């Protein structure tokens, strides 16, 4: 029996089935992540129907494993948290249904969590002080979003991509280069032996003075540099000798834009703290360049620990803050799969 309160968190918004047990002081007692990348690898991206079916098969074993690793029984739980937005509709529904069932049968509060806010919250896990207020940046396979974060329960979107997300661009460029999925880690490894200066890549929207991103043009630039322009002479595969240099050139261009927009956000918001999370925040080149920028700008930089960058359930510990703010969901709670996009025309 635990003297302190613990909650079980469930995350199934995309292609990871995850569960974690987290104490009310933020200590992670267990975190289980069952990745599905082997199921989606041959398609070069996540196939929603395959993802939701795999969640159905895995969710109960993953929850059991999380409870076991935490040496905790269902009766010890004070609350159940689950990601309900944004994400793939079928995948989110699997997690929400499991969470509602647990909430109802154990008569414990249900807390619904925003996946992106949780990615930012992950930057503060293990830190002694609160990360708020801060400029928040979530760079993942689905999002490239900048936020004005006043508290865990108040994050306002201030910038986002107009087309592909940064992680999506890593995945698509990896496919062009014949590198395995997920593309981010593959490109990072290939780039280590490459020379970025061999190719000149665009830096999309770098000088707009706005917090918007675009990656589809950069992706096309890589395609043309790798295979030639469309027509009878376009190659079917990228020549092996070009792969490392193209990976390095793409990574440099992407990292430069991401870091520049973070700098702009911090300056516009006049905050002295920047928090960066999401799968792309695992990229070492990006982390190094962010740190240089933060030192120059004299701001505090908190990048999520590596294990909490990519999708996991432990970051749903944000639910403790939501609970304190009285944000308890009912069994009527539904999923909100929609993509989060900033409407620059309205600003
Ligand atoms: O946060 P995440 O696990 O899932 C989403 O919410 O999308 O992010 C997954 C994304 C993928 O696009 C993957 O290629 C990218 O994060 N990623 C990376 C790295 N590790 C994962 N991108 C660049 N460099 C990495 N080391
Ligand atoms: Zn994510």
pLDDT digits (tens, 9 = 90+) for 213-265: 999 999 999 999 999 999 999 999 999 999 999 999 999 999 999 999 999 99
Give me ligand 2 centre to Cα 279, in Å.
6
Predicted confidence at residue 340, as pLDDT, reads: 59
Q: Which ligand is nearest to the CA of 117?
A: 2
**Which has the higher per-residue pLDDT, 3 or 259?**
259
Stated pTM of the model: 0.92
The fraction of the chain above a pLDDT of 70, given in percent, is: 97
Give me ligand 2 centre to Cα 140, in Å.
6
pLDDT confidence bin for 42, thresholds 50/70/90: confident
Name the residue at shortest CA distance from atom 22 of ligand 1.
Answer: 184
Residue 172 CA to residue 133 CA, distance in Å, equals 34
Predicted confidence at residue 339, as pLDDT, reads: 64
CA dist list (Å): 153 to 26, 103, 133, 167, 326: 16, 22, 11, 25, 11
Tell me, using a 6 A CB cutoff, whether residue 14 lines ligand 1. yes
151-172 pLDDT, tens per residue?
Answer: 998 999 999 999 999 999 999 9
Give me ligand 2 centre to Cα 2, in Å.
30
Q: Which ligand is nearest to the CA of 16?
A: 1
Listing DSSP states for 230-290 in one string gives SSTT--SS--HHHHHHHHHHHHHHHHHHHHHHHHHHHHHHT-SEEEEESGGGG-HHHHHHH
Tell me, using a 6 A CB cutoff, whether residue 310 lines ligand 1. yes
Q: Report, as an integer, the average pLDDT of 309-319.
A: 96
Which is it for the CA torsion 69, 73, 74, 76, positive or negative? negative
Pocket test for ligand 1, best of 118, 170, 191, 316 (most atoms within 8 A of CB): 170
Which residues does residue 148 pair with via DSSP β-bridges, in sequence order? Answer: 135, 156
Predicted confidence at residue 341, as pLDDT, reads: 61
- Burial class from Cβ neighbours inside 10 Å (0-12, 13-18, 19+) for residue 260 reads middle
Q: What is the mean pLDDT of the chain?
A: 94
17-32 pLDDT, tens per residue?
Answer: 999 999 999 999 999 9
Shortest-distance atom of ligand 1 to CA 182: 14
């Amino acid at each position: 029996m635990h003297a302190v309160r613990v909650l079980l968190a469930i995350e199934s918004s995309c292609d990871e089935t995850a569960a974690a047990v987290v104490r009310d002081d933020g200590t992670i007692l267990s975190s289980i992540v069952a990745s599905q990348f082997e199921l989606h690898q041959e398609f070069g991206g996540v196939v929603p129907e395959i993802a939701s079916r795999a969640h159905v098969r895995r969710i109960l074993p993953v929850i059991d494993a999380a409870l076991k690793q935490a040496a905790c029984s269902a009766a010890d739980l004070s609350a159940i948290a689950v990601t309900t937005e944004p994400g793939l509709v079928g995948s989110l529904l699997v997690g929400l249904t499991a969470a509602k069932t647990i909430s109802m049968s154990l008569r414990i509060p249900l807390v619904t969590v925003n996946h992106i806010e949780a990615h930012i919250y992950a930057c503060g896990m293990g830190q002694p002080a609160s990360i708020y207020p801060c400029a928040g940046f979530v760079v993942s396979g689905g999002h490239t979003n900048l936020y004005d974060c006043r508290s865990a329960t108040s994050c306002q979107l201030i910038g986002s991509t107009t087309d592909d997300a940064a992680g999506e661009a890593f995945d698509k460029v990896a496919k062009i280069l014949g590198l395995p999925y997920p593309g981010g880690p593959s490109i990072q490894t290939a780039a280590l032996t490459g020379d970025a200066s061999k190719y000149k890549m665009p830096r999309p929207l770098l000088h707009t003075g706005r917090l918007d991103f675009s990656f589809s043009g950069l992706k096309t630039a890589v395609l043309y540099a790798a295979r030639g322009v469309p027509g009878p002479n376009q190659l079917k595969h990228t020549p092996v000798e070009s792969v490392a240099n193209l990976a390095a050139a793409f990574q440099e261009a992407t990292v430069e834009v991401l870091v520049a927009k973070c700098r702009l956000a911090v300056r516009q918001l006049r905050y002295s703290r920047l928090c960066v999370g999401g799968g792309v925040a695992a990229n070492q080149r990006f982390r190094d360049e962010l740190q240089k920028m933060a030192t120059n700008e004299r701001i505090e930089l908190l990048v999520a620990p590596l294990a909490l960058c990519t999708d996991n359930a432990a970051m749903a510990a944000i639910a403790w803050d939501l609970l304190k703010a009285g944000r308890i969901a009912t069994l009527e709670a539904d999923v909100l799969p929609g993509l989060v996009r900033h409407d620059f025309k309205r600003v």
